[in-house]
């Protein structure tokens, strides 16, 4: 049973993503069955893996699949045309050219790996020194600040992403307080630019057991003047569409937010959080 009205899930992947599993129609049917009122499809476009992921073709497949459900299902649910731009700052020219190919409602900005490095999920934290882990995290937050300053997205996704894997590897002694200054800079940049912060709820169903970022950071974003907040399950499977969205709304409310946001034609639209 859903607790909140107007459940909005703005982050999910179809089989057009390299790690996706279901069609846009299957994901949409699951959203309807789970009382989600608004969804955005946000297939991966990791710009630094353009060749390896065959993104020229995948982007087209993704957009056409999304358009087919926009046309056939929009009488039942609000469907937004989105994309998750990974590492856009690593090749801004290619990013901008690719974004101009289609008319998107909503663009997610994210970082999954450092330059010329594997995904943070593919690093071995078990045998890594504490200094090395903090060094990687420092570089990650530097990249997130650069991404925020680039400003070509609508919401900044899963801030603290590497922690999902660091905690999973049993390194629970690693904590983020030394990065609070740069995280404040990231929030201030988003706020000054009128961009949103994402609460990514996928961590709630993973060993870390928390949203990305965690509630403390969502509260800090609010304290600094943050108003635009998006929620996303980051579902790669039909059973995860809408997962954790109620908990995300509860976090947003506890942090002082009265509204969540979705984007249409790249413009923010606020929706009241209501039970």
Is residue 48 within 8 Å of 90, Cβ to Cβ?
Answer: yes
Region from 58-66, 79-87, 117-125, 207-215 binding Zn ion, contact rule CB under 5 A: 79-87
Site for Zn ion in 177-206 (CB under 5 A): none
Regarding 234 and contact with Zn ion (CB under 5 A), the answer is: yes
Region from 66-74, 110-118, 131-139, 218-226 binding Zn ion, contact rule CB under 5 A: 110-118
Is residue 228 within 8 Å of 220, Cβ to Cβ?
Answer: no
Nearest residue (CB) to Zn ion, 71 versus 144: 144
Residue 251 three-state SS: helix
Q: For residue 50, what are the contacts with CB-CB under 8 A and spacing of at least 6?
A: 56, 91, 94
Nearest residue (CB) to Zn ion, 9 versus 234: 234
Nearest residue (CB) to Zn ion, 71 versus 121: 121
Regarding 160 and contact with Zn ion (CB under 5 A), the answer is: no
Angle at 245 between CA 148 and CA 262, to 5 degrees: 50
Regarding 46 and contact with Zn ion (CB under 5 A), the answer is: no
Regarding 48 and contact with Zn ion (CB under 5 A), the answer is: no
Is residue 31 within 8 Å of 77, Cβ to Cβ?
Answer: yes
Region from 29-37, 57-65, 231-239, 243-251 binding Zn ion, contact rule CB under 5 A: 231-239
Q: Of 62, 110, 113, 238, which lies in the binding site for Zn ion, with binding defined by CB under 5 A?
A: 110
Size of the site for Zn ion (CB under 5 A): 3
Regarding 98 and contact with Zn ion (CB under 5 A), the answer is: no
Nearest residue (CB) to Zn ion, 225 versus 232: 232
Region from 113-121, 141-149, 165-173, 233-241 binding Zn ion, contact rule CB under 5 A: 233-241
Nearest residue (CB) to Zn ion, 52 versus 272: 52
- Other CB atoms closer than 10 Å to residue 25's CB: what's the count? 14
Is residue 82 within 8 Å of 12, Cβ to Cβ?
Answer: no
End-to-end Cα separation, the chain, in angstroms:
12
Least Å distance, CB 130 to Zn ion, is 26
CA 236 to chain centre: 12
Give 210-215's long-range contacts (Cβ < 8 A, gap of 24+): 211/244, 211/247, 211/248, 211/251, 212/158, 212/159, 212/160, 212/161, 212/163, 212/164, 213/158, 213/159, 213/160, 213/183, 214/160, 215/251, 215/254, 215/255
Region from 46-54, 176-184, 227-235, 239-247 binding Zn ion, contact rule CB under 5 A: 227-235
Regarding 230 and contact with Zn ion (CB under 5 A), the answer is: no
Q: Can you give the binding site for Zn ion, defined by CB under 5 A?
A: 84, 110, 234
């Amino acid at each position: 049973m859903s607790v909140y009205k107007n459940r909005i899930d703005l982050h999910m992947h179809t089989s057009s993503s390299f790690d996706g599993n279901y069609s846009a129609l299957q994901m949409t049917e699951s959203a309807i069955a789970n009382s989600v009122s608004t969804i955005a499809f946000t297939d991966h476009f990791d710009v630094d893996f353009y060749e390896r992921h065959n993104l020229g073709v995948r982007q087209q497949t993704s957009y056409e699949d999304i358009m087919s459900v926009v046309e056939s299902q929009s009488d039942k649910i609000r469907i937004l045309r989105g994309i998750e731009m990974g590492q856009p700052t690593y090749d801004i020219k290619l990013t901008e050219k690719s974004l101009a190919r289609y008319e998107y409602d909503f663009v997610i900005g994210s970082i999954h790996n450092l330059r010329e490095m594997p995904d943070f999920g593919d690093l071995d934290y078990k045998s890594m020194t504490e200094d090395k882990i903090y060094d990687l995290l420092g570089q990650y937050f530097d990249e997130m600040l650069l991404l925020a300053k680039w400003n070509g997205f609508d919401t900044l996704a899963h801030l603290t992403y590497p922690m999902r894997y660091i905690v999973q590897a049993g390194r629970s002694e690693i904590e983020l307080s030394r990065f609070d200054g740069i995280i404040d800079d990231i929030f201030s940049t988003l706020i000054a630019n009128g961009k949103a912060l994402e609460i990514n709820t996928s961590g709630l169903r993973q060993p870390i057991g928390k949203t990305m970022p965690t509630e403390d950071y969502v509260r800090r974003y609010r304290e600094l003047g943050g108003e635009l907040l998006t929620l996303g399950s980051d579902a790669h499977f039909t059973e995860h569409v809408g997962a954790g969205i109620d908990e995300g709304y509860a976090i947003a409310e506890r942090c002082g937010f009265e509204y969540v946001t979705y984007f249409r034609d790249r413009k923010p639209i606020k929706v009241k959080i209501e039970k």
